[in-house]
Amino acid sequence: MGEAKKSGEKKAAGEVRAAKPLGRKRAQGRDQELLEATVEILAEVGFDSMTMDLVAARAKAGKATLYRRWSSKEELVRDALIGMSRASIELGRLPDTGSLRGDLLALMKPYSLEHSERKLRVLAGLGSFSTQHPKYYDEALAGIFEPWTEVNRKLMERAVERKELPAGAEIEAVCELIVAMTAFRTSVQRKQFDREVYEGLLDRVLLPALKGGG
């Protein structure tokens, strides 16, 4: 009987432990819903007019739910911008298409015109976020571009190893140029940076620069 009791206790403990990951998954899903609601509000009214109340109402959540995850509007917007941008880039794996050009393009996720237009509205409506909250703005840029740059660097280094690029290829300079051109086109020109634009940039500027580095 004692053994049966212990077995039952172990089983119950195991059930509790097994339930915990499900709770984490639900929390992560809720976080994503809140971030998506933030992007929607930013696209509609811009950063300066956005409030935590508006986001909570859009996500059908209590304001306390937001503040348990983000202590300020600036933190929430930082994470929403990072999430929005990463939705356009595949960073979870290193593609292997057989060529550097193909690998770099494979990182670009296909997305709808509606997604692209909403992204541009968000960027156009950031208002005082960059000037009055530079810490969070810089963190947003780092979160958006640093992972992409790291993947680009690995793909280019692999291209050097297989002799597709010369040993002296200007990898760091080209990685910086990708970031600069993307930021300029989306934030300054308010235009899409899609696969077609990236193809032109690769063929006319980036790949020639890399191959001329030997």
Q: In the predicted model, is pLDDT for residue 90 greater than 50?
A: yes
* C-alpha span between 104 and 114 (Å, rounded): 24
Q: The pTM is what? A: 0.78
CATH topology of domain 2-211: Tetracycline Repressor; domain 2 (1.10.357)
- Supply the pLDDT for residue 190: 84
Q: What is the pLDDT of residue 146?
A: 93
Q: Give, in degrees to the nearest 5, the angle at Cα 97 between 94 and 99.
A: 105
DSSP state string for 94-116 = ----SSHHHHHHHTBPP--HHHH
Residues pairing with 89 in the sheet: 108
- Packing angle between helix 171-183 and helix 134-161, nearest 10 degrees? 140
99-143 per-position pLDDT tens digit: 999 999 999 887 767 878 888 899 999 999 999 999 999 999 999
Which residue ranges make up each domain of the chain? 2-211
User: Across the chain, what does the average pLDDT equal?
Assistant: 85
